[in-house]
A and B are shown apart, each in its own frame.
With several copies, the nearest count.
Chain A
Amino acid sequence: MEKKKVKNIFVEGPISAAFIGESIAKHSSNTNIGAHSIFLGQVRSDVLGENVVQSIEYTTYADMALEKMAEIREEIFAKHALTCMHIHHSLGIISAGEICLFVFTSSKRRRAAVDACTEVVERIKNELPVWGKEIFADKTHQWKENTL
């Protein structure tokens, strides 16, 4: 089996805006970067009939997800002239309004960062074994399904 560097992308709980700010600040020392593209997923309080989503509980099959993510990372770097890419996905209960996904790509010119960011978000949603359980105000729940 081929070896890939497997980086953890999962964090317990929501991703704070301050953490995102700090991640951006760290890149000021790399003066070869001209463009950053960031995607943030935020938990939405969708209304389903009489119910309102209060939070989403995320679980994953971590071994498989991280192996798949390493594969995606390798393919994205082969395809786009990126300087760096950072990905953070929440696990556990994330309340409406909180951030559950942070994708951050950087490159010399904007095209690579923008294209890679969009592509990796699609691949995360379609290919990573992660599940979101939408928890309603009355404590019932339903399982999210990503639409392609």
Chain B
Amino acid sequence: MSSSINIIAFGRIAEIIGTSSRSFPHVATTNELKEFLNVKFPELKKVKYAIALNKKLITTDAAIEVSANIALLPPFSGG
């Protein structure tokens, strides 16, 4: 059985991937995840979004543990 990772998504990103929580095959790093998602959901290429690993924003490429909390975050607009 190949490992998978669970991803949560918010706002416009959740609209594009069609759900707010979903499993994908495991990829090794956040950059690889972005490439994978861009292929699977071409509309994502038009949207600015950030990745949070374990509730921390990722600013450079980072390794993804299978158990990581992965979140796709469009630009914030609270307040």
Q: Are B78 and A89 in contact (CB under 8 A)?
A: yes
A111-140 interface with B by 8 A CB criterion: 121, 124-133
Q: Are A126 and B76 in contact (CB under 8 A)?
A: yes
Question: In chain B, what residue has the closest Cβ to A130?
Answer: B78
- Among A11-19, A58-66, A72-80, which stretch is in contact with chain B? A58-66
Bound together, the chains give a CA A89 to CA B43 distance in angstroms of 31
Q: Tell me which residues across on chain B come within 8 A of A126, comparing CB atoms.
A: 76
Please tell me if B55 contacts chain A, counting CB pairs below 8 Å: yes
Number of interface residues of A (CB under 8 A): 28
Bound together, the chains give a CA A65 to CA B11 distance in angstroms of 14
Per-residue A-contact encoding for B42-79, CB less than 8 Å = 1, 0 else:
00000000001001000000000000010101111111
CB distance from A87 to the nearest CB of B (A): 10
Residues of B participating in the A interface, judged by any CB pair closer than 8 Å: 8, 10-12, 52, 55, 69, 71, 73-79
Residues of A participating in the B interface, judged by any CB pair closer than 8 Å: 41, 58-61, 63-65, 67-68, 89, 100-101, 121, 124-133, 143-146
Closest 5 CB pairs of A and B: A130-B78, A144-B77, A131-B11, A64-B55, A125-B79
